[in-house]
Amino acid sequence: MKIPIIYEDENIIVVDKPAGLLVHPTSKKEKDTLIDFLIKKYPEIKKAGDSSERPGIVHRLDKDTSGLIVIAKNNKTFFHLKNQFKNRLVEKKYLALVAGKLRDKKGIITKAIGRSRKKGIKQTVAPIVPRKEAITEYEVLKEYKDYSLINAIPKTGRTHQIRVHLASIGHPLAGDTQYKFKRQPCPKNLERQFLHAAYLKFRLPNREIKEFNSNLPKDLEKVMNELV
């Protein structure tokens, strides 16, 4: 699998992750993850971070989500970036295709997220409670007959946050097999969830601001071209 590196310096690596690639091994000890690739190319990242299984990783993307991810090359940068993510100082934007048309063209979803007891669903929403807060802003960019293309802007970093939040307001991601509704249609040629990390902005320890953009990958572009 080709893994595009769109930027690197002595402190960070920014990757445009393709869909279908795990960021790091899970409990199943998978191989050929993004971390496996990066360690071979940048062995120095082994010393970065607070976990030997996730060296340099300060945030993650789902396996089937494509787009931008930043990896720290050293501890100073790792903890600096981790603190920015924790304090909501990193700007992230995702392009998402959702089922249906949203009543409000702009909005903020504030629903806490926790593990669900239902088989096959890992996360669920609940009213806001301490330490489980989850916030996602969204804006509709374009509407189609059965779908809407939106900008999703997560202000927190819960597992599956965008996917769970959008499903909770009745507009699950197109192609999302885990949080879809019964009999939910799937756009032609879509073989994974339509979610792409398109924008990332953060500050390095030297106070330099870094900003990155990523266009839709070809598989999602093809889907968009078939919509009416």
Catalytic residues: 62
- CB count, 10 Å around CB of 116? 14
- In the block, residue with structure tokens 């996917």: 163
CA 172 to CA 35: how far, in whole Å? 29
Helix residue ranges per DSSP H, 17-103: 34-41, 75-86
Is the CB of residue 111 less than 8 Å from the CB of residue 191? no
Contact 84, 208 (CB under 8 A): no
**Would the CA dihedral through 153, 222, 192, 170 be positive or negative?**
positive
Q: Which residues contact 143 (CB under 8 A, 6 or more apart)?
A: 101, 149
Write the DSSP symbol of residue 47: G
With residue 108 as reference, give the H or E element that holds it. strand 106-110
Other Cβ atoms within 10 Å of 171 Cβ, number: 22
Which residue carries 């995702």 as its tokens?
A: 94
CA–CA gap between residue 113 and residue 133 (Å, rounded):
7
